[in-house]
Every structure is written in C-alpha cells, then in structure tokens.
Amino acid sequence: MVKTQGAFHIPSLDGVRAVAVLVVFVGHGYVAPEAWPGHVGVSIFFFLSGYLITTLLRREYDRTGRIRLGRFYQRRLLRITPPALIAISVCVVVGLAGLLPSTTTGWGVLAEVFNYTNYYLVATGGRGGLPPESSMLWSLAVEEHFYLVFPALLIVFLWRRLSYRQIGYILLAAAAAAPVWRLVLHFVFDASFFRLYVSTDTRFDGLLVGAAMALLWNPVFGDRTPLRLSEGMLTKTVAPLALIIFAGSALASENWRLTVVDSVQYACLIPIFWFIVTRPDSIIGRVLNSRVVSHIGALSFSIYLVHKVALALVAKSFDSAPLIDVGALVVSILAAQVIYELVEQPLGKVRRRLEGSRQPSAAVDTAL
C-alpha cells in the first residue's frame, strides 16, 4: 500500500498535473504548435481524473459503506464551477473590450456555463459564438457529462454486490468499445474533426480506464500489480516501454490519433501511473514531487482555463514566439495563483467543513 501524504494526497500526481498542463500549453503556444502534440496533455488529464475521482469514491465506500451522491456533486460544484465562471467572464470581457476579436453570442456563453461546449463545437462546426480563446472548455464538458453518470452507476454496481474487480473489468470492456465507435464514425459516417475529438461519446474511455485502474490495480489500496506482473518487471521494463510507446504514438497521423491512438495511450498510462505512484523516491518521482512542479500542478486547473487568452493577449505585444510563450506562461501562472488563493483555497476549506472530518479530503479531486 502506498503511503499517502497529509489529507489523502497521493504522491507524484500533482507533478503529473503540471506535466499535463505544460504539454497542453506548449501545444497551444507559438514556438511549436504544429510539431508539439498538445492533445496528449488532455488525454493524461482524462485518465488522471478518472483514477483520482474513483479512488476518492472507493475510499469513501470502504470507510462508510456508502457513496453519498449529493456530497459528490457538491464537491464537484465547489471545485469546478467558480474558477470556470471566472475564466468565462474574463474571456467575455476581453471580447467586449475589443482586446481580442470576438464573435461571442449568448448561446456560446450558455454552452460554456452549462457544460455543453463540446457538442456546441460539433453542432456549429467551429468556435464562432464562443467567448474568445475559451474553446478548451470542451474538455471540462466531457468530464462533467461523465461524472453526471459514473458515480450513480458505481453505486448501482455496488448495490448489486459486484466486486471492485468485476466493476473494473466492466469499465474496461466499455472503454474497449470507444475506439470501435470512433472507427465507425470516421470510416462509415465520415465524421468531422470535432465530432471525433471533442464529443463525450468518443472521449469517455480515458476516464473509464483511469477509473478501472482505481478499482483493479490501485497501489494506494495495496492492490496487486496489473496482469500479476512482478514489481521489478512492471517498474523496470513494462513502465519504460509503455512510456516509449506513449511518446511515439503521440506523433501518429490525425486519422489514427482520432480513432485508436488514444486507446493505446490509456493502456500505456496504467503501468506509467503505477510507477509514478509507487516510486516517489525515484529520479522521476523526486522531480514530480519537487516544490515548484507540485505547485504548478496545484494551479493546473486555473492555468488550463486562462492559458489561451493569456497567449492571445501577450501575442499582441511581442513578435517573438519564445517571448510570447514565456510571457503568457508567467501571466497564466500568476493569474492561476490569484484564483487559487482567493477562490480555490477558501472553497476547499468550505468543502472539507461540509464533508466533516470523517470524510475523505477533496485533495484528490481534480479537473481540467
């Protein structure tokens, strides 16, 4: 069993958040937007979110014998909505002030406020009508749709007395259907880029595989290793090989990336996550758990929310791509720090107070 820190804080995972958000940032930046696979950062976030949220739900069930659905949604609401509304408001104001080109409409704003940005993009075929530089909220919509259904489904499975292992394998079977569905959409229905890339029904598998790992092979609870591999084989051979495959697959052509590559990457993340959770004292673990990297991870949600508008605004003042990216990263981190101190931390205390001391801390809660 992995020894967690403080209020159920899993080692290394804040560092993973930092890596994921920086991958996304570089992908949207000006230095290497075409060559850099920024989409990989979103895939990591989906897997991470499924793993962490299901770990929290499993811990609650183990400790209390039940999952309180109302409290779960309460945590999500307090964690996600305030920073998201701030980011949406900033983008709307920037557009109204003429600081960036804007085609914002009421329908576009409503899509973001009520978490259907992804299907808005599918329906309109573009970003028109959304507040400027806010389309990345599609990924938050995917998460929120998933969490409207998944906790209740987990409760039903547990009520039916299915074991964690049985539920985990059901989730993996459901995740295996996703690439088949994407292939059908692509080759049979000639689906658009947005239909394949941002739809909840085509991107749910990352969350499911992360959730399955939390139930089947979760080192936090002392579960056995994936596929009954020895610790040495998993950490010294399988995890490094999975990292190589993960990195190589990130460079696949768009057709394969939109259909099957995500599934390959989610499979690779299982041994990779096992390694980083169980080896916090390794070189990689020490980097991920370093003070600076961990703090960037703690700010990652707000960095994600503001980074595109920061890039666009800084680009108005500089012509040099490296200066734009560095300047926008600094602005994003500073803005995220303000949101973290004034909004996220106070609301975190509210969540913990509402939960009571017997409930698992929301420190493992996450979002894009």
Mean pLDDT, rounded, for 71-83: 94
Q: Is the confidence at residue 139, as pLDDT, over 80?
A: yes
Q: Is the confidence at residue 42, as pLDDT, over 90?
A: yes
Q: Which residues are within 8 A (CB) of 25 and not within 5 positions of it... i.e. 6 or more apart? A: 38, 41, 303, 307, 325, 328, 329, 332
pLDDT of 358: 45
- Cα 324 from Cα 331, distance rounded (Å): 10
Structure tokens at 306: 């503001």
pLDDT of 282: 96
Angle subtended at Cα 346 by Cα 341 and Cα 348, rounded to the nearest 5 degrees = 110
pLDDT of 32: 86
Q: Is the confidence at residue 368, as pLDDT, over 80?
A: no
pLDDT tens digits for range 247-281 = 999 999 999 999 999 999 999 999 999 999 999 99
Per-residue confidence band for 367, with pLDDT thresholds at 50, 70 and 90: low
Summary mean pLDDT of the chain: 94
- DSSP codes, 199-249: -HHHHHHHHHHHHHHHHHS-GGGTPPPGGG--HHHIIIIIHHHHHHHHHHH
pLDDT tens digits for range 202-213 = 999 999 999 999
What letter represents residue 180's amino acid? V
pLDDT tens digits for range 336-355 = 999 999 999 999 888 877 66
Place of tokens 């039916």: 160
- DSSP codes, 173-191: HHHHHHHHHHHHHHHTS--
pLDDT of 365: 57
Per-residue confidence band for 11, with pLDDT thresholds at 50, 70 and 90: confident
Structure tokens at 368: 């894009």
311-314 contacts: CB < 8 A, separation 24 or more?
311/28, 311/29, 311/30, 311/133, 312/100, 312/132, 312/133, 313/94, 313/99, 313/100
- In terms of Cα–Cα distance, which of 89, 83, 59, 84 is closest to 72? 59
Q: What is the pTM of this model?
A: 0.95
pLDDT tens digits for range 55-68 = 999 999 999 999 99
Backbone angles phi, psi at 361, to 5 degrees: -65, 150
pLDDT tens digits for range 172-196 = 999 999 999 999 999 999 999 999 9
pLDDT of 366: 58
